[in-house]
Chain A
Amino acid sequence: MNIEKLKSIIEECELENDKITVKNKLHEVVNFLKTQLSFDMLKSITAVDLGDEIELIYNLFSVIDEEDALLSIKVKHEAESISDIFSSAKADENEIYDMFGINFLGNEDLKRLYMPENWEGFPLRKDYIQDDTRLAWNDNGENA
C-alpha cells in the first residue's frame, strides 16, 4: 500500500499493526484515500469501546487494486462524519450512534435505529447496565 505517500501528506499518521492511526483530520484522510489512492468503497465502520474512549476502525477498500486500508481514530463522544464522501457511511454511523452514542458531526440523519426512540443508554458501551429497571420484567423489582 502506498502508506509512505499518505504519510508524507498527512503528518499525524501512525502505522500500528496494519492500521493507520490518525489523531484528527479524519475527513481529510478519507477524502485523500478516496480521490488520490482510489479507495472507492467503505466496507464498514467498526466501533470498539476501549473503556475511556471509543475506537472507530474504518475499513476502506480499493476495488481496482483489491486492497484494504484500515483507518483508526479514537474519539470520546463526537466524531467527524464522512457521510458526504461515502453514502454507506450514513448507515454505519447511524448504527454506531445507536449502539455507542457517538455523535457524528455533519450527519443529519442520525436516529435510534435498532433501539426504541425513547431508549436510554447505548447497549454496546461497556458501561451499559444490562439488568436495567426500565426493562418490562424488572418493573416490579423482582429481578433487580
Chain B
Amino acid sequence: MTTARTLKLNLGPQHPSTHGVLRLILELEGEKILSCEPDIGYLHRGMEKMAEGLTYIQNLPTVDRIDYLSGCFYSELFCRTVEKALGITISEKSKIIRVTLLELNRIASHLLWIGAFLMDLGALSPFFYAMREREMILRFFEKLTGQRMMYNYFVFGGVRKDIDYIEDIAEIVRVLPEKIEDYEKIITDNPIFIQRTRGKGILKPETAFNNSITGANLRASGVNYDLRTTDELYKGFEFSPVVLDGKDSWTRYKARIMEIKESIKIIEQGLDKLKTCGKLEQKLINPLNIKLPEGEYYSEIEAPRGLASIFIKSTGEDKPYRLKWRTGSYYSINLLRELLIGEYLNDAIAIAGSLDIILPEADK
C-alpha cells in the first residue's frame, strides 16, 4: 500500500542490474526500502512441461538451457539420474573429464558473477577483466564441444567424445591464479568496495536455512555445507570447502574468489589424472530406446548458485512422467523479500547482486 509519504518503484524487468528479467516491486520512503515483492516468470520456458513430452535423449540438449552460465551442471545432473535409474556405472576417465569440465564451468560462472557484481557497484574494469579470463574457458569449451554455453557434452554413460586440447586447460590453470591476484588487488581491498559491501546484507545462518539458501551464499554465512564433499563423482579429488564467517556481501564475494582458487586445484588434479589414464573407454547405451524403470529418482549437485536437484518420476515409459528441477536462484530471489527491508536503494542493488541470481535458472 502506498501512502503519500512512500513511493512505489518498479525495479525491472528491464533494468541493467537485475541480471536478466527480474522485477522487484519496491516500496520506498525516501531511498529506504519498506517492502520488496519479487516478481519472476518473464523467462519461463516451461522446461518441466516440455520434459514430459520429450524422450530422455530429446531432453538431454534442453537441460543445458536451464542455466546458460553453468549448463554442465544440469547436464551432469540429468545424466546422473538416468544412469542411476538404469544402473549404469561410468568409466573412471569420463568421471575425471566430467569433474574437470564442471569445475571449469564453475570458474566461468563465478568470473561472470564477479564482473557483474562489480558492474552493479559501478566499477567498470573488473567486468572486462573477468570477461577476458572467462573467454579463455569458453574458447576451450567451444573447441571441445562446438558450443560456448550449451555444451551437450555429457551423455548417458559417459561423455560424447574423448577430451582433447588438454594444453588449453593447462594454460588456463597456469594463467588464472595470477589474474585472480590482480582482481584481489583492484577489488578486495578497495576502500569504496569495502564500504559498499562490508556489513551490508547480513545473512544469518538461521535466515539462510529458513529460506533454503545453499551454495556459496550459505558457506559465506559460516555453514560448512558443500555437496561436493559427499559427491561420488568427486571421490579421489582433494579440496576443502570454502567456509567463511562474515555473513555479508563482502564475504560472499570473497567466498567466490576463494572457490575459484579451490576449483583451480581440482582442475590441476584432474589434469594430472587425465595425463596418465590413457584413452577413453566407455560403453554408451543406445539412447533411442531408453526407458526408465518405474519409480522415483532424485539426485542433487553443488551448482555455482547453490544446490541443484532433479526429481524424475517414471512410469516405465520412454518419457518422464514428471520432472522437477530445484535451482538455487529461485530461493535467493525469494530471500530478497526479507533481506532488502530497511536497506537503501543503492545498497539493495549491491545486496541483490551479491546473491548471484540468474533468472533463467529461477524461471526454468
Contacts and interface: CB of A to CB of B under 8 A. Distances in A.
B296 A17 contact: yes
B322 A87 contact: no
Nearest to B40: A113
B209 A41 contact: yes
Contacts of B333: 91
Contacts of B41: 113-115
A77 B281 CA distance: 51
B49 A123 contact: yes
Given A88-B331, A91-B330, A114 B209 contact: no
Interface string B215-227: 0000000010100
Contact of B46 (A43, A46, A57, A123): A123
Interface in B317-364: 321-322, 324, 326, 330-331, 333-335, 337-338, 363
Given A17-B296, A48-B313, A124-B48, A91 B209 contact: no
Contacts of B230: 66
A49 B209 contact: no
Contacts of A59: 298, 309
A69 to B, nearest CB: 13
Interface in A1-60: 17, 40-44, 46-49, 57, 59
A63 interface: yes
B49 A87 contact: no
A43 B212 contact: yes
Nearest to A128: B49
Contact of B326 (A17, A40, A43, A90): A43
Most buried by A among B209, B300, B321: B209
Contacts, number: 71
Interface of A is mostly: mixed
Given A113-B40, A115-B41, A123-B46, A41 B212 contact: yes
Contacts of A47: 324
Given A17-B296, A43-B309, A44-B324, A90 B212 contact: no
Interface residues of B, number: 35
A41 B363 CA distance: 22
A87 B324 contact: no
B210 interface: yes
Contact of A63 (B48, B209, B309, B363): B209
Chain A interface bracket (under 10, 10 to 19, 20 to 34, 35 or more): 20 to 34
A41 to B, nearest CB: 5
B334 A44 contact: no
Contacts of A41: 209-210, 212
Interface in A78-114: 86-88, 90-91, 95, 99, 113-114
A99 B41 CA distance: 12
B118 interface: no
B49 A124 contact: yes
Contact of A88 (B206, B210, B298, B313): B210
B311 interface: yes
B132 interface: no
A27 B307 CA distance: 25
A100 to B, nearest CB: 11
Contacts of B298: 59
Contacts of A87: 210-211, 334-335, 337-338
Given A17-B296, A123-B46, A88 B211 contact: yes
A49 B212 contact: no
A16 to B, nearest CB: 11
Contacts of B307: 43
A47 B44 CA distance: 18
A95 B326 CA distance: 11
Nearest to A44: B326
A133 B191 CA distance: 59
A46 B324 contact: yes
Given A86-B210, A99-B48, A115-B41, 17 more contacts: A17-B295, A41-B210, A41-B212, A43-B300, A44-B212, A44-B311, A46-B324, A48-B313, A48-B322, A87-B337, A88-B212, A91-B333, A114-B40, A114-B44, A124-B48, A124-B49, A124-B52
25 contacts: A40-B209, A41-B210, A41-B212, A43-B212, A43-B307, A43-B309, A43-B326, A44-B326, A46-B311, A46-B322, A47-B324, A59-B298, A86-B212, A87-B211, A87-B337, A88-B211, A88-B212, A90-B334, A95-B330, A113-B41, A114-B46, A123-B46, A124-B48, A124-B52, A124-B322
